Amino acid sequence: MRSELLLSCLRFAFAAIVVSFVAFGAVLPARAQDTSKPADQSGQAGQDKDNKKPSPAVIVQKPAEAVSLLDEKSIIFPDIAASTKPLSAGEKFELFVDNSISVHTVLYSALAAGVGQADNSPTGWGQGWDAYGKRFGGSLASNASGEFFGTFILSSALHYDPRFFPDRDPSFGQAVGHSLKRIFVTKSDAGKQVVDIPGLVGPLLGEGLANVYWPDRNRTAGDTFYRYGIDIATRAGGNFLREYWPVVRAKFSHSGSAQAARFSETRTGQ
C-alpha cells in the first residue's frame, strides 16, 4: 500500500514540476504577443463600430468554451480531444483500445511495477523478474478493464464523451482546478456538463475484475477499494499532464519546424 501511495505522489510531482515549467515557457511569450494586438486594432475597431450595427445573432450568442484541441490524435494521451464532434460507439471502443496501449499507460505501468517490486506490493507475488512481469501485466490489465467499462461500455450507454478537453492557455491554478474537476465532471455527447459516472464507476469495476488474477491474500474488499482510491487520486496527475500537453506539443512542433527551416536555408545557401 505504501508503494501505491508513493507512486501517486511521484506521478503528481512529475506533472506539477516538470510539465508546468516547460508549458509556462511556451505560454508566456504567446500571451505577450496577444496583449499587443488589441491596442493596435482599437482605432479600426472603433470605425467598424460606427459603420456597422451589431448582428442580433451575435448579441444573443453565448461565448464558446475556450479549449485547446490537438490537430491529430496523440499516441501518448489518445483521450485528449482533437475535435468537438461527438464520438460514435465504435470510436469510443477504438479510444478504449488506444488508451489501454498508449505510451503514457505503458510507462506508468512500468513505473508502478518497479515501485511495487521495491516495496514487495502486493505481497502475494514475491520478488524476481517473474514477479515484476506479473505486477506490470496486472497494472496494464486493470487499467484496460477500467477503460473498457468506463470509456466504452458506460460512455456509450449513457451517451457521455470520455475525452479530455484541455483549457486554452491555463494558469497553474486553473490547470490544477480543471484537473481535479475533470475527475468528477465530464461532458455528454450533447456538450452538457454531467457527473462523470463512467470515469468514477469504470475504474471500480476494473479493480473488481482484477481480483480474478490478483494474489489471493490481496483480494479483500478493503484492498479493492484502496486500489480504486489510488486510481482516482492518480488521475489528477494524469489530467494535469493532459492539461498542458497541447502547449508542450505545440512548443516542440514549432521548434522542430524552425530547425527544419534553418536546415533548408543552409542547404539552399550552399
Mean pLDDT across the stretch 64-88? 77
SS3 186: strand
Let me know: does 48 contact 148? Beta carbons within 8 Å: no
Q: Give pLDDT, residue 2.
A: 47
| Per-residue pLDDT tens digits for 201-242 | 999 999 999 999 888 888 889 989 988 998 998 888 888 888
| Per-residue pLDDT tens digits for 26-40 | 433 444 344 444 444
Cell numbers that stand for 175 in this block: 490547470
Q: Give pLDDT, residue 68.
A: 57
| Per-residue pLDDT tens digits for 104-153 | 899 989 998 898 888 888 888 888 898 899 989 989 999 999 999 999 99
Distance from C-alpha of 131 to C-alpha of 40, rounded to nearest angstrom:
64
Which residue, 68, 143, 139, 142, is CA-closest to 99? 143
SS3 167: strand
**Confidence at 266, pLDDT banded by 50, 70, 90:** very low
pLDDT at 73 over 60: yes
Alpha-helix residue ranges (DSSP H) falling in the chain? 2-14, 20-40, 42-51, 56-60, 89-100, 103-119, 129-147, 155-158, 172-184, 197-210, 221-269
Q: Give pLDDT, residue 234.
A: 87
